[in-house]
Amino acid sequence: MPRGPALVVSFDNLELALEKREGRRPRGFDVIARNGWSMLGVMTVGWTWFRAPAVAGEFGRLATSGFFARLERVVFCGASMGGYGAAAYSAAVPGATVVAISPQSTLDPRLVPWETRYGRVARTRNFTGRYGHAAEASRAAAAGTAPPRVAIRRLPQDAGPA
């Protein structure tokens, strides 16, 4: 949805949007539209954590083509799995802002052996490469500045990567 010089890149689960949201829109769509911001919605079917090679390839292509450089501001956002996607792929845009609600940093069992909430489907994804570890990737997006971090630790699994 192209509109203005600010772009919100929203990561969401298509199944949740179709089943639980009025208008079947990505999270935050109404706020984004009301403010005249542009939106790039990244939707997945199932619990993929946006780890398909095509997703990484497309963000690399957008970055090298100068797509993001034409914008005044880029904000990556998402919640849970979408928060992971927002933080991970923000590395494609140095200086981007990341709004990640309850994200996972990685589900690589070598790095987070205590993480068992998402079962085998998540643990079999490849969490390596430029966009694999969301905390490291979002530091790259910060381009040398320390982004604010807020951690709410309600579950023991949340405390490990914080």
Residue ranges covered by each domain of the chain: 6-159
DSSP per residue, 48-62: -TT--HHHHHHHHHH
What band does 146 get if pLDDT is binned at 50, 70 and 90?
Answer: very low
Eight-class DSSP state of 15: H
Gap between the Cα atoms of 89 and 131, Å rounded:
6
- Higher pLDDT residue, 84 or 46? 84
Q: Per mean pLDDT, which range of 12-26, 42-56, 69-83, 89-103 is the poorest?
A: 12-26
**Average pLDDT of the residues in 144-151:** 46
**Prediction pTM value:** 0.83
Question: Scanning the structure block, which residue is given the tokens 């990341």?
Answer: 98
Q: Give the pLDDT confidence of 12-33 residue by residue, as tens digits.
A: 987 766 666 566 667 777 888 8
Gap between the Cα atoms of 112 and 7, Å rounded:
32
Eight-class DSSP state of 155: S
CA angle 15, 99, 68 (to 5 degrees): 90
Beta bridge partners of 44: 13
Instruction: Let me know if domain 6-159 sits in CATH 3.40.50.
Output: yes
